[in-house]
Structure 1
């Protein structure tokens, strides 16, 4: 997996890739034309929301549960420059004709196996390469 950004005046190109399958993500540049109009904190929260949403569908399929819709709302706080984010929380709303107990079990299980969540919970090593 990889993510790539290329930025110059009024041009902001974003690409993500898994197993060689590249996808463009449309994100506008800042009004100044340099940098991204979406900040990294917002994208981190979006990564958590996306992971949980996708994993709910994945785990529901394994259990042969049909989900009508999923909503995931993630929040967090970022302070001064250089400070790590804090107070990450999320909520989900799942609409399904499955029994409520089955959906609650699905949500709790998915919380335990969501890969992006577990990466952050365990701490990630991030290395700047030359």
Structure 2
């Protein structure tokens, strides 16, 4: 089962890979990098990873935790007969001078509030108009 992995990075977590796409980013001057194929499966995982990255910066600012960089990898499988997701996992590489306790508190908060992962977990109807 293919895992449809994506990677997003900002700050010291930005990618230097030649195929990485760069986008402006409200939380960092250098913008973000995205490593992803352009399929529906990858885009779903990219939405989750991008939301987590953004929320790391947003929540860190609110908690007064410095962030030097973030790199989020998200992946998951699909049942290729129905194209139902088998779930999404993500990993955050947080680069910060903050204590391990503060970093863990930040990542727990992000996992609690990140909008796209919350929406995916809850499920939502999708319909063509």
| Cα RMSD (Å) | 1.5
Task: Give the match for residue 72 of structure 1.
Answer: 72
SS at the partner of 1:104?
helix
Task: Give the match for residue 110 of structure 2.
Answer: 110
Task: Give the match for residue 63 of structure 1.
Answer: 63
Number of equivalences: 94
Task: Give the match for residue 88 of structure 1.
Answer: 88
Q: Which has the larger radius of gyration?
A: 1
Q: Give the stretch that moved more between structures: 119-128 or 77-86.
A: 77-86
Cα distance, 1:79 vs structure 2: 2.6
Looking at structure 2, the residues matched to 55 and 81 of structure 1 have their Cα atoms a distance apart, in angstroms, of 34
Cα distance, 1:87 vs structure 2: 3.2
TM-score normalised by the chain length of structure 2: 0.68
Task: Give unmatched runs, 5+ long, in structure 1.
Answer: 1-22, 24-36
SS at the partner of 1:101?
helix
Looking at structure 2, the residues matched to 118 and 49 of structure 1 have their Cα atoms a distance apart, in angstroms, of 12
TM-score normalised by the chain length of structure 1: 0.68
Runs of 4+ displaced beyond 2 Å: none
SS at the partner of 2:46?
helix
